Chain A
Amino acid sequence: MNAVLSLWRTLRRPSGSFALGFLVMGGFIAGIVFWGAFNTAVEITNTETFCVSCHEMRENVFVELKPTIHYTNRSGVRATCPDCHVPHGWTDKMARKMAASKEVWGKIFGTISTREKFLDKRRELAQREWSRLKANNSLECRNCHNLDYMDFTRQSVRAAETHERFLDSGEKTCIDCHKGIAHKLPDMTGIEGWN
């Protein structure tokens, strides 16, 4: 009992038992350690391995990604799940991670635990991603695809003209036209640009 009481006293007023310098330095070092651990943990959740560890991702969207150019192509540069679905900047990433806690909820309650449930919900899920990319001006696309370095002369005539008219002018953003490039599309009835 006495031991517990003295521990409590020390925790309540640590400056009574330890030197101030020791406490400041200790707090500083502990801060580094905790910060590092937090960041490492977040980065672990930011890998493709983590994403496809759930069958919902592995058997639906990941399978669909595999034949697309963002997974396999001539130069071997590829995009992983978080490259497109998690912002790279720290603040936006944390905001996205907090929003993604709903996905943990969905996992626990099996919201898309079967193929049928997933297909029924696909349009809602896809629309959420489209509006996110629309709102941030296709930021995740632009992490790799930069208009300033796009050589229109190396694109097909059709692509070059369209990019010049709509992308260069800022009239449209990537996701307005490039929907369904990495995953299959849901029912597109009523979606702008799909007739």
Chain B
Amino acid sequence: MIRILAILCVVGGLASDALADEEVIATLRGATISEAPEAPPMAKIANKDLLRTRNYPEQPPSIPHKIDGYQVDLNSNRCMSCHSRVATGQSQAPMVSITHFMDRDGQFLASISPRRYFCNQCHVVQTEAQPLVANDFVDIDSLLAGQGQAEPQ
């Protein structure tokens, strides 16, 4: 009897271990690989027009508003109808950085350089979705202050 109980315990322990492993692996997907889980609801695009802190100085600022249907192609650039130098007076939008006027030789052009034309290559909208995994990024100021040091890998 005792022996049977012991075997049951061992088997039960193995099963729960396997279950735990499965749960860890399937966190992002929310189901086992053989199942087709229901798609999560589409996250809304953040549209509050509040500038976000950049995580590092070179970070392209993320777009604080919706850009649904904004056409950026050979024919037109919707972003520039507010963010270009001449448009900012009316639109009160921030002007694109002067670095965007530079060509590859460091020469400043009259307006944005063709290599900076496609805004969405660097600047993107943000959604109101919760992050799927935690992020332990520490910005330079916190690092210099000796706080929140990254844990050894």
Q: Give me the interface of A with B, judged by CB distance under 8 Å.
A: 67-69, 156-158, 161-162, 180-181, 184-188, 193-195
Contacts and interface: CB of A to CB of B under 8 A. Distances in A.
Contacts of B65: 156, 158
Contacts, number: 44
B71 A195 contact: no
Interface string B64-104: 01101101001111101100111100011000000000000
B75 A156 contact: no
Secondary structure class of chain A's binding surface, majority of residues:
loop
Given A156-B47, A195-B80, A195-B111, A69 B75 contact: no
Contacts of B76: 180, 185, 187-188, 194
A60 B66 CA distance: 26
Nearest to B87: A195
Could you say which interface size class chain B belongs to? Answer: 20 to 34
A181 B75 contact: no
A68 B68 CA distance: 9
Contacts of B105: none
A69 B71 CA distance: 14
A71 B85 CA distance: 34
B49 A158 contact: yes
Interface in B25-77: 47-49, 65-66, 68-69, 71, 74-77
Contact of B87 (A67, A181, A193): A193
B125 to A, nearest CB: 13
Given A195-B77, A195-B85, 13 more contacts: A67-B69, A156-B49, A157-B48, A158-B49, A180-B71, A180-B76, A181-B69, A187-B75, A187-B76, A193-B81, A194-B80, A194-B81, A195-B86
7 contacts: A68-B69, A157-B48, A161-B92, A180-B71, A180-B76, A187-B74, A195-B87
Nearest to A187: B75
A21 to B, nearest CB: 63
Given A193-B81, A195-B111, A69 B87 contact: no
Contacts of A186: 75
Top 3 closest A-B pairs, CB basis?
A: A195-B84, A188-B76, A185-B76
A63 to B, nearest CB: 15
Given A181-B69, A184-B75, A187-B75, A156 B81 contact: no
